[in-house]
Amino acid sequence: MEAQHHSLSTPSTPNNSSSSSRCAPPPDSDARIVVYFTSLRIVRRTYEDCRAVRMILRSLRVPVDERDLSMDAAFVAELHHLFGGVGELPRVFVGGRYVGGLEEIRQLHEAGELQKTVQGFPKVEPGVCDQCGGYRFVLCDKCNGSHKCFLGHKNGGFRNCSVCNENGLVRCSSCVTVSL
């Protein structure tokens, strides 16, 4: 079944410049809802904005590819590639198209446009993943979360693990959303 996505009329806000709305899509996002956010509470406003967007998207009961910048530096690199920097968080893409941050998502949700936009995506049941507990990452099986692999004394000793990120984590295979 092919997804039917309604066109978005993104509200005009100072954070929504025309160059941002025409950026290249993130990797593997053409048939997904992708949200870049942080789970760190260092800057309260940013954390609360990210939390609010995630709650709005969860209320729609659609699969969301949540990319937490505090858990994997590769997501930071993706944003640098897409926007020339990280900028303000959160950042939301629907079907490969940049939609905006909290204000844009909130306005679209209150106007009922966000529900129309995601109606082609499959519905998901609310709940927490049994494998990762909702953190979206698990310890790497190859290095047991150390990010170091022992190659033997003859081969130079320890090397960085090629499977996991800098924190010794890999994305949870149960949580990664299924594309349409």
The 10s digit of each residue's pLDDT in 28-87 is: 777 889 999 999 999 899 999 999 999 999 999 999 999 999 999 999 999 999 998 888
Host domain of residue 61: 18-117
| Residue among 46, 23, 44, 45 at smallest CA distance from 34 | 23
Count how many domains the chain has. 2
- Let me know: does 75 contact 93? Beta carbons within 8 Å: no
Q: pLDDT per residue over 133-169, tens digit each?
A: 888 899 999 999 999 888 776 777 788 999 999 999 9
Helix (H) and strand (E) counts in the chain = 5, 8
Same domain, 22 and 105: yes
> Using CA atoms, how far apart are residues 150 and 154, in angstroms rounded to an integer?
11
> Using CA atoms, how far apart are residues 118 and 109, in angstroms rounded to an integer?
11
* Within-domain flag for 180: no
Quote the pLDDT of residue 177: 54
Same domain, 24 and 113: yes
> Using CA atoms, how far apart are residues 105 and 62, in angstroms rounded to an integer?
15
Same domain, 169 and 110: no
